[in-house]
Structure 1
Amino acid sequence: MRKIGIYYAFWTHDWAADFFPLVPKVKKLGYDILEVHSGILADWTESKRLDLAKATKDEGIQLSYGLGCSSENDVSSPDESIRQNGLRYMTSLIHAIGRMGGGVIQGSTYCAWPKQLALGESKQQYVDQSFKSMKQLAKVAEDCNVIVNMEILNRFEQFIFNTVAEALPFVSAIDSPNLGLLLDTFHMNIEEDSMSQAIILAGKYMKGLHCGETNRKPVGLGRIPWKEIREALDTIHFNGQIIQEPFVMSGGQVGQDISVWRNVIENPDLDKLAADSAVFMRRVLVD
């Protein structure tokens, strides 16, 4: 059965946060998975990471690990010293997640976020460097019981690939069971002609779904064609995680980085919004 989750930063203004109180919260609100920021976990002690893994296991939920790689850890960088630094960073994260019991790390695992090409700069050099890196990291993931998902991002946030059609030759050439594509309804709404066709094209390489409405409200409060998406997921027999990433509050580093310049929902009751959305997600995407 498909499992649903929610990203921790729905409740925070800053990326660095205490994940522990969110473990029982998301369970109570109807979710199977809490997605946390793996970059924050990188700064934790091994003991604290294992405590978090135990807390989620005791609560009966899973952890998922989101990531937005910084420019200093860019595995797609033409600067070989930066690429090697990124490889060390990603390898360390994969090993840490493996020791926490394994799972999924996903987001800009294959590139820096956010990043744009300089005027006149070649995109291919970044694609080639990223390919070398991900081929190596896929083997690390295979040894650690970890899935590494590459999120297809919109043109305003990245350039390596913005559509499934662009990403498919990349992931299929590596063809590792531990390397996949993460599709996201927010990004697909900008870049894909058809969300359902994008999902079907991704096929077996689609190992995760991030979701939210077009303006990043919680699932069920907008105009994303959820019935169409469900039919496409069923067509490819998708059984991966479905994690929603709503962002409705301005302010803090989260609001700054996600470009939330207004309160998308005034005076939101965040817990009620999350609970109602969990019910919608199960009814429309799972049951």
Structure 2
Amino acid sequence: MIFGIHAGLWMDRWTQDPAPLFDRAARIGFDAVELSLLGIGPDKAAALRGAADAAGVALSCSTGLGPEADPASSDPAVRHQARETLARAIETAAALGSSRLAGVVAAPWGLFDPANKPDRAKRSAETLGQMQDHLAQHGVTLGIEALNRFESDLTSTAAEACAIARASGAANVGVLLDSFHMNIEEKDPPAALRAAGETLVHYHVSDNDRGVPGSGRYDFAADARALAEIGYLGWVVAEMFVRAGQPTSADLHIWRDIESDADRAAAAALAHMKEVFADVG
């Protein structure tokens, strides 16, 4: 297993330089850092990759698409923009040395159109499937994040995200499952992981309040057993958003401090991740 931490734990703004966080994560003991590409373009990739190498951490990437680049849109021009935006994100991830790019890539965050879900899902799958050659060329795997009902109607369950990934027909398209979202939507999160099977390419952890895994009521040990059953040997990334009063916090609806100290939260998260997931596989 590769144990990672999302840099957003410490970031006030998505445009903030994450390079100083690499040493911070390494000192705590993480193998890897996940970066949001919302503030990172190809021009910054070489320097960030060098900083990550110097700190001894691997990088993974997450991103999100806006309404102007909706892969599920009925407008061909918008779908074209989605492909262009994804292509740049894939190239940036590869330039960073990341083989993983995951996030809100099936439809824009907060865009709801439930009456047209079947057609939107079909178009989304087709659009993402058209990225296969670019993904393979750059050695990147794309993970569709299953969100929750308050953030998406198209991929608000693991099954919906998996259906789009499979319908894409792309070998380099899979799903990202996240304990925070599964806690809301899945009656049985381990069953969702088992049903995802080889489609699962990335896994996020935080507890039910988006804080330290193991500090709340989510059953991570049950998830670990499910991951072992499907032979998942990939990344386990703590994606915690715990600080109020920052621009990033408002984006994620964090209205109170979930944890009092981000460094202590990161250390506690890693300790729990190692305890629960270290023997998987």
TM-score by length of 2: 0.94
Distance 2:82 2:164 in 1: 19
- What is the deviation of 1:27? 0.6
User: Residues 41-190 of structure 1 correspond to what in structure 2 (within 5 A)?
Assistant: 41-42=40-41, 45=43, 48-117=44-113, 121-190=115-184
The answer for unaligned runs of 5 or more in structure 2 is none
- Alpha carbons 1:218, 1:245 under 8 Å: kept: no
- Alpha carbons 1:149, 1:180 under 8 Å: kept: yes
Distance 1:13 1:101 in 2: 24
Distance 1:29 1:164 in 2: 31
Mapped pair 1:285 → 2:277: yes
- What is the deviation of 1:107? 0.5
Q: Deviations over 1:215-246 (max 9, x none)?
A: 10121211110111110010001011111111
- What is the deviation of 1:252? 2.6
Instruction: Show the counterpart of 1:193.
Output: 187
- What is the deviation of 1:41? 1.2
- Alpha carbons 1:138, 1:148 under 8 Å: kept: no
Distance 1:253 1:68 in 2: 17
- Given candidates 262, 268, 287, the residue that maps to 2:256 is 262
- Alpha carbons 1:116, 1:156 under 8 Å: kept: no
Distance 1:171 1:231 in 2: 24
Name the aligned partner's letter for residue 200 of structure 1: R
TM-score by length of 1: 0.92
- Alpha carbons 2:146, 2:158 under 8 Å: kept: yes
- What is the deviation of 1:170? 2.5
Distance 2:227 2:149 in 1: 24
Match of 1:200, SS state, is helix
- Alpha carbons 1:108, 1:151 under 8 Å: kept: yes
Name the aligned partner's letter for residue 83 of structure 2: L
Aligned length, in residue pairs = 279
- Alpha carbons 1:4, 1:33 under 8 Å: kept: yes
Match of 1:50, SS state, is helix
Name the aligned partner's letter for residue 70 of structure 2: D
Aligned-residue identity in percent = 28
- What is the deviation of 1:130? 0.7
- Alpha carbons 1:182, 1:208 under 8 Å: kept: yes
The answer for unaligned runs of 5 or more in structure 1 is none
Name the aligned partner's letter for residue 240 of structure 1: G
Name the aligned partner's letter for residue 103 of structure 1: S
Name the aligned partner's letter for residue 270 of structure 1: A
Q: Deviations over 1:166-225 (max 9, x none)?
A: 233322233433111100101111111101100000001101101101110121211110
Match of 1:5, SS state, is strand
Question: Root-mean-square deviation (CA), in Å?
Answer: 1.5
Distance 1:222 1:280 in 2: 12
Distance 1:271 1:102 in 2: 24
